[in-house]
Amino acid sequence: MKSLFLALLSAVLLTTAAPAMAGTVQEVLQDQRALIEKSSRRTVGPAIDALVMSDLPQMQAVLEAWQAKEMWQRKEDGWFFAASKNADGTYVLHRFEDGTKVGDYAKGALKQLKPNSGVRAMIATALVQYQLSDPDINKRTGALDSIARDPEAALLAPLRASIPGETDPGVLSRKTRLERLMSMAYDTDIAVRVTAINDMSGDLGVDFRATLNPILTTKTTILAVGQTTDATTDANVARVLLPGSETLSTQAAYALLVAADLAPAELTQDARDAALEANIEAGRVGGFPVAQLGTQAKRDAAYDALVAADLAAPRITAEDIAASLASYQFREIYQEPSQAVTDVAAAALAKSEGRVAVNQAVDLGLDALSLASIYFLAAIGLAITFGVMGVINMAHGEFIMMGAYTGYVVQMFIANHTLSILVAVPLAFAVTFAAGVALERLVIRWLAHRPLETLLATFGVSIALQQLAKNIFGTQARPLTAPAWLDGTWVINDVVAISSIRIAIFILALLFLGLFLFIMKRTRLGLETRAVTQTPRMAASMGINPDRVNMLTFGLGSGIAGIAGVAIGLFAKVTSEMGGDYIVQSFMTVVVGGVGNIWGTLAGAMMIGGFQKGVEWLNPSNTLAAQTYMIVFIIIFIQFRPRGIIALKGRAAGD
């Protein structure tokens, strides 16, 4: 009796003493010691959950130390501590409960816990609910990133709890949006889910549509006609599928029945031939000699003979298929059981997709405008030399290339990218202006009014300039780095965005349009150029030197091409062949717009840029097709408007 009394007393004492130890950090860690030591992604989940569910405030530090591989285990008793290394190579241990120092230990007396990447990812997820309200904004932001990557229903409550105390407007906006998205997917209250979906109805975010898609996921079910006890009879039905309709073909419907073991499979040729082979007797099958079974019709007849003799399964006929399909109803049912949720989700997704389509059209228009700006910038110099002077300069693309390489050389000496571009633009103009004047003086002027010879001569010059660039800079693409303030993107919403450098090129194109109009309308050079273009002899009789005007005009067009090269080189590869990528588009822009008219050049650039982007949108996997279709379109267009969109009028049009 005494021993029994002592045993009962010990049990009572242990029971009453347990709560005093329960809930301490070390207590929880020791309870999960085996799982923590093993630290496997497949098994460590319950241990992490136990640490989180303990509701101990120190568990955040424990999980962070474990994740950072800064949690150590003392070998003599298996207890866990935070550790830091001393200068002499020993380690000082600290209690997780209060951070007090335990003592210094040699590394051999300790074991470092080194969770793998999978376990660290699980710990990171567990840390989220602590970090959502952490004073460090970086930790709060990281927690939101973690939730967005791997949302879980258990994280919805701590996310909501962290919203009222959030002080940063940007983080608050992210928390609020993420709470709405998670409410749609994980909240148990149907009314809350419906409200969350309605609050974001029509949203353009990819995350919003990605949250709605699982809600609207369906599966096809089969219900026997007249059946009322099946588990799917009260399901959330998306639609009824009729066999033989566009949504469900007869063949597909019957295949569903076969897959569900509700109908026999149709006879395949392989199954028929196998049955014929299995019933060969004395060189005959079903009364037919094997030698005569060389056609499908003969094999079918032999198989039908086996069916008549009860030696093979009957063939499935169209009538059999129709009868089987008539016995069943095919339905698409939502995996989401609440019809109220799926109804508002479908309406919200339809509204969102409608707005996405509109914004995609806007984005496509901005892309077309950006491409048109590039083509206009590349063609504006050609509009002067070809449109005004009538000179076919096949080396125009190489002037663009020279401008880009000028920018590259400047950046070799000026490290500041903003300053280098400011220096490169006028320097590129000066270099290509001089090159254009030299080409006009040495080649063009001697081939006046001989367009074919001019074309061949400038084509030879373009080849020579390409080879010269290869000899100097090599064949590899050279970098022309844009300033940091041009690296960003103007994001209007999740669908519409345009890079800063494209915006800069668009503005530059407008500036050159204004500069060209100013030169041609408000300067002496412009007046003389227009006079020489319209009536060279009359201009000469008025004291204007046509040769000098042609030289300056050609130099101006070449100089503008050089500036265009700097702009284009900021986003395109700078190589010796880069001019060839723009010479064809430049000529087409000038010809389609109307030779000799700057407004026509602008209209031509808009037409070609818009058409090319439209074709690329219809066939995004084949950009070469866009080039081909564009050329075909231009050929057809010129047949109807040979003088371009805006044709010259008066005597100049007849020259």
| Range in 11-20, 457-466, 571-580 with the lowest mean pLDDT | 11-20
Residues 188 and 197: their CA atoms lie apart, in Å, by 14
Task: Output the pLDDT for position 135.
Answer: 86
Tens digit of each residue's pLDDT (9 = 90 or more) over 92-134: 898 888 888 888 898 888 898 888 888 888 887 787 878 888 8
Q: Within a domain: residue 18?
A: no
628: pLDDT strictly greater than 80: no
Percentage of the residues of the chain whose pLDDT score is greater than 70: 92
Q: Rounded mean pLDDT of the chain?
A: 83
Q: Within a domain: residue 307?
A: yes
377: pLDDT strictly greater than 90: no
Note whether 102 and 183 are same-domain residues: no
Show the domain range for 229.
218-340
Note whether 175 and 223 are same-domain residues: no
Short-list 165, 160, 343, 139, CA closest to 239? 343
Q: Within a domain: residue 14?
A: no
Tens digit of each residue's pLDDT (9 = 90 or more) over 144-189: 888 888 888 888 888 898 899 888 999 999 999 999 999 999 998 9
Q: For residue 554, give the CATH number of its domain.
A: 1.10.3470
Q: Within a domain: residue 303?
A: yes
At 401, is the pLDDT very low, low, confident or very high (cuts 50, 70, 90)? Answer: very high
Note whether 204 and 226 are same-domain residues: no
At 5, is the pLDDT very low, low, confident or very high (cuts 50, 70, 90)? Answer: very low
Note whether 236 and 180 are same-domain residues: no
Give the mean pLDDT of 29-49.
85
Q: Within a domain: residue 125?
A: no
Q: Within a domain: residue 3?
A: no
Note whether 336 and 426 are same-domain residues: no
3: pLDDT strictly greater than 80: no
574: pLDDT strictly greater than 50: yes
Note whether 415 and 442 are same-domain residues: yes
**Token pair 């490290």 in the structure block, residue:** 415
Domain count, the chain: 4
Give the mean pLDDT of 178-206.
91
**Token pair 């033989």 in the structure block, residue:** 244
Boundary (domain end) residue, out of 166, 186, 215:
215
The type of residue at 497 is A
Task: Output the pLDDT for position 55.
Answer: 79
At 430, is the pLDDT very low, low, confident or very high (cuts 50, 70, 90)? Answer: very high
Task: Output the pLDDT for position 653.
Answer: 46
DSSP summary character for residue 541: H
Task: Output the pLDDT for position 345.
Answer: 92
Note whether 399 and 504 are same-domain residues: yes
Give the mean pLDDT of 548-570.
87
Residues 307 and 286: their CA atoms lie apart, in Å, by 9
Top mean pLDDT of 98-102, 270-274, 339-343, 555-559 is at 339-343
Boundary (domain end) residue, out of 167, 200, 215:
215
Tens digit of each residue's pLDDT (9 = 90 or more) over 264-296: 888 888 888 888 888 888 888 878 888 888 888
**Token pair 């992490």 in the structure block, residue:** 48
Give the mean pLDDT of 536-546.
80
648: pLDDT strictly greater than 50: yes
At 233, is the pLDDT very low, low, confident or very high (cuts 50, 70, 90)? Answer: low
The helix (run of H) or strand (run of E) holding residue 531 is helix 524-534
Task: Output the pLDDT for position 33.
Answer: 87
Task: Output the pLDDT for position 383.
Answer: 78
Note whether 199 and 326 are same-domain residues: no
Tens digit of each residue's pLDDT (9 = 90 or more) over 66-95: 888 888 889 888 899 988 888 888 898 988
For the chain, give the number of residues: 655
337: pLDDT strictly greater than 80: yes
At 431, is the pLDDT very low, low, confident or very high (cuts 50, 70, 90)? Answer: very high
Q: Within a domain: residue 56?
A: yes
Note whether 107 and 172 are same-domain residues: no
| Range in 5-19, 561-575, 592-606 with the lowest mean pLDDT | 5-19
229: pLDDT strictly greater than 80: no
Torsion of CA 172, 177, 178, 184, to 10 degrees: 150
Boundary (domain end) residue, out of 161, 184, 215:
215
Note whether 153 and 240 are same-domain residues: no
Task: Output the pLDDT for position 1.
Answer: 40
Phi then psi for residue 299, to 5 deg, are -65, -40
Tens digit of each residue's pLDDT (9 = 90 or more) over 464-490: 998 998 998 888 888 888 888 888 788
Strands 284-285 and 497-499: unpaired
Q: Within a domain: residue 8?
A: no
Note whether 223 and 83 are same-domain residues: no
In the Cβ-directed half-sphere of 505, how many Cα atoms lie within 13 Å?
A: 28
Note whether 512 and 632 are same-domain residues: yes
